[in-house]
Chain A
Amino acid sequence: MVKYSREPDNPTKWSYLSMLQNLEQKKSFLISRKKYPKLIAAGMSNFFSKAEVTSSGRPVLLHNEVECHLLSAVDLEPEDHRHFSLLKSGLLILTTHRLIWLPSSSASTPTSASAIPLAAISHIFSSKKSLKSVFHSPRIRFQVLVSSDGRVFDPSSGSGSSSGSGSRSVVVTAVIRGKGDCDGFLVKFWDSWRARAWETTKTSSSGSGSASGSGAATGIGGGLYSSDGSVRMVGVAGILRKEQEMWESTDKSLQDAFQDLNALMSKAKEMVMLAEKMRQKLLSGTSSQTSGTNDEDMGSKEEMQDWLLSVGIISPVTKESAGALYHQQLSRQLADFVRIPLESAGGMINLIDAYCLFNRARGTELISPDDMLQACSLWEKFDVPVMLRKFDSGVMVIQNKSHSDEEVFARIKSLVTKPEALRTGISPTDAAMTLGIAPAMAKEHLLTAESKGLLCRDISPDGFRFYINLFPEIDPCNMYFVKDYGICSTWIKAVSTTGIGERSSTFR
């Protein structure tokens, strides 16, 4: 072993020694990992909290939670090896409330998604630039409160007291092996941790609780001032005062929002809430009027409803927050979003329509058509319940994997064997109306049915129509024979009721 001649408290020397020490520790750790795999698996699941994931692999966000940054190929190592929890090579997502770790799809050991609430973090270490850091992957170290049963302290599940159950703390290192922006992530990490977004939800929910308590006139504490120091709202004066304060704060927040663009971004959530409130007022306004319902109001109310429904995405995946994984995450988000329009459109939706809907829902961070196309083509690699389908004519649609062609063909068949359809055939518009889908989609379905031999086309000055295919039943060697209960005899019966088959023509 090379001995340095430098000072003992020189960080370089100490880091070298500690690196060797770490190596020793890691060696013993790995050996023990091999010896006790079951214990390790149990330990892994018990240390970090579980994070819920949608069917496309995107994390389910809490109320008001917004994504801030994303890093790929991250290992999470708690330095206390007794817990054996080592999460390797996953996706680390920073949100306003948590640090979420998602396993990569190629993980050999089945690990589930984990999360560390930001509330459980007691300290974030600043990154020290040493000789060591030049040679290996950047690291982010932070201190996490651990409860007595060996798990990461989860403030949402606790009894409510903030400092009671966290008895000791463990340093967790996030090793970033991917090509993400580590410094930017660290900055955002600090910002999110200091912003303490989870506490505002707590106080708002507890604030509403105390307001309802006082409204029932069974207040916990006595007097005009409640336990947390704000003025209690009692009686008509209280209601008026509450209204006044609300308007003042709305006014102030509007002013703040429009002064600074950064501030606007954080106030954006409040803006959405305002819009929601206005909608509620509209709703309550029209329902209270018993006889004088204004048609205009109803129309605009519905308009507002639809508009607000389509603004459904709170935390858009942007190139900034996802970097190189942009298309992957976008593709997953798109898969989640497109599920509802698919259901209302009958299982199949034009790619262009989906593009418009998706961009409208995102609001600000719009995506280009190229991004959309790439995101859709990535679906083949993931296990998502939707797929992109290209028809022979070049039309591209997004389709539910469970949506079957068989079912559509059955419906087309029943439509085209009705007496009216037997006589005059069906056009794409007829099919669209009966099947409840767009005419362009209906035409694609009809063409597909034709290529499967279910239908025949008829091109004439009347237009482009489709009939049930009778050809398979006709025998060229016995052309005049008609089977008794086949489709030909049904067709003949339907046609002859209008007298078409009865007329004769002479030509010579």
Chain B
Amino acid sequence: MQKLGDFKLPHFFNYPPYFTLQPVRETREKQIQLWKELILDYCRTQKIFVIRLEEEFPLFSNSVIERTLSHEAREAFLSALVAEGRAEWLDKGRRNCLILWHRIQEWADIIVNFVKDNGFEDSVMTVEEIRSGIESRGTELQGIDRTILVRALKLLEHKGKLAIFKGTSTDDEGVKFSV
């Protein structure tokens, strides 16, 4: 089985038509579905949060069969993810895409569990600490993309589970939990 880093690739990764955007509607729908799943799986295991279309992305080329996804094909698959709510375009030009292999709501739940597990119910933390603090090591929150984290926190603030405030220094924002 072929690997990309330590990621195990499915058998159809070596099927040349997989890398050509299919014109026939039914075939294309199936192809899109498979690519969506593959992208999400890969990003989840490799902790990739953003895909930049203009840069090389290892999943989009296969040197064994010498095929690469065209720009049009990449845009098509990512747009399908966006339509499903599993991704978002970061800019109008559709060059950068934020991958939500966990939805924002799921991230919010993870944060709540993290707070409960570590007894932070009434304490205060900076956003950066949530991301890279000692407590978050080994959890899913480690290395989480800042944009996503802030979005999840905002969602929780909206629900009244915490409050975001500007920190004393201009650097970072702080969070007061009231879970």
Q: Is the CB of B12 within 8 A of A470?
A: yes
Q: In the complex, what residue of chain B is closest to A460 when comparing beta carbons?
A: B67
- B1-19 CB mask vs A (1 if < 8 Å, else 0) is 1111100101110111101
Segment of B29-37, B130-138, B157-165 in the binding face: B29-37
Q: Is the CB of B16 within 8 A of A460?
A: yes
Q: Is the CB of A501 within 8 A of B11?
A: yes
Interface set, chain B 14-58, CB cutoff 8 A to A: 14-17, 19-20, 22-24, 26-27, 30-31, 33-34, 36-38, 58
Q: Is the CB of B10 within 8 A of A500?
A: no
Q: Is the CB of B30 within 8 A of A503?
A: no
Chain B residues with Cβ under 8 A from A476's Cβ?
30, 33-34, 36-37
Chain B residues with Cβ under 8 A from A305's Cβ?
none
Given known pairs A458-B16, A472-B30, A480-B10, the reply for A501 and B2 (CB within 8 Å) is yes
Chain A residues with Cβ under 8 A from B124's Cβ?
none
- Distance between Cα atoms of A469 and B33 in the complex (Å): 15
Chain B residues with Cβ under 8 A from A508's Cβ?
5, 58
Q: Is the CB of A453 within 8 A of B5?
A: no
Q: In the complex, what residue of chain B is closest to A452 when comparing beta carbons?
A: B24
- Distance between Cα atoms of A453 and B30 in the complex (Å): 11
Size bin of chain B's contact surface = 20 to 34
Chain B residues with Cβ under 8 A from A469's Cβ?
17, 27
- Distance between Cα atoms of A501 and B58 in the complex (Å): 18
Task: Flag whether B65 is at the interface (Cβ < 8 A).
Answer: yes
Interface set, chain A 218-274, CB cutoff 8 A to B: none
Task: Flag whether A117 is at the interface (Cβ < 8 A).
Answer: no
Task: Flag whether A282 is at the interface (Cβ < 8 A).
Answer: no
Interface set, chain A 479-496, CB cutoff 8 A to B: 479-480, 482, 488, 491-492, 495
Is chain A's interface secondary structure helix, strand, loop, or mixed overall? mixed
Task: Flag whether B91 is at the interface (Cβ < 8 A).
Answer: no
Chain A residues with Cβ under 8 A from B58's Cβ?
507-508
Q: Which of A457, A492, A506 contacts B20 (CB 8 A)?
A: A457
Chain B residues with Cβ under 8 A from A453's Cβ?
24, 26-27
**How far in angstroms is the closest Cβ of chain A from B21?**
9
Task: Flag whether B83 is at the interface (Cβ < 8 A).
Answer: no
Q: Is the CB of B15 within 8 A of A467?
A: yes
Chain B residues with Cβ under 8 A from A472's Cβ?
30
With an 8 Å Cβ cutoff, the count of chain A residues facing the other chain is: 33
Q: Is the CB of A456 within 8 A of B22?
A: yes
Given known pairs A460-B66, A500-B65, A507-B5, the reply for A467 and B12 (CB within 8 Å) is no
Among B2, B8, B12, B37, which residue has the most Cβ atoms of chain A within 10 A? B12
Q: Is the CB of A507 within 8 A of B4?
A: yes
**How far in angstroms is the closest Cβ of chain B from A247?**
69
Task: Flag whether A5 is at the interface (Cβ < 8 A).
Answer: no
Chain A residues with Cβ under 8 A from B5's Cβ?
506-508
Q: In the complex, what residue of chain B is closest to A425 when comparing beta carbons?
A: B16
Given known pairs A457-B23, A476-B34, A479-B38, the reply for A506 and B3 (CB within 8 Å) is yes
Q: In the complex, what residue of chain A is closest to B31 when comparing beta carbons?
A: A471
- Distance between Cα atoms of A474 and B36 in the complex (Å): 14
**How far in angstroms is the closest Cβ of chain A from B67?**
6
**How far in angstroms is the closest Cβ of chain A from B14?**
6
**How far in angstroms is the closest Cβ of chain A from B45?**
12
Given known pairs A467-B17, A470-B15, A506-B3, the reply for A480 and B8 (CB within 8 Å) is yes
Chain A residues with Cβ under 8 A from B26's Cβ?
453
- Distance between Cα atoms of A450 and B2 in the complex (Å): 28
Q: In the complex, what residue of chain B is closest to A495 when comparing beta carbons?
A: B14
Q: Which of B3, B8, B38 contacts A505 (CB 8 A)?
A: B3
7 closest A-B pairs by beta carbon, nearest first, are A456-B17, A507-B58, A458-B16, A471-B30, A476-B33, A479-B10, A508-B5
Taking A467-B15, A470-B17 as given, write out 11 further A-B residue pairs in contact, using a Cβ cutoff of 8 Å, ordered by the A residue number.
A453-B24, A458-B17, A467-B17, A469-B27, A476-B30, A476-B33, A477-B37, A479-B12, A479-B37, A488-B12, A505-B2
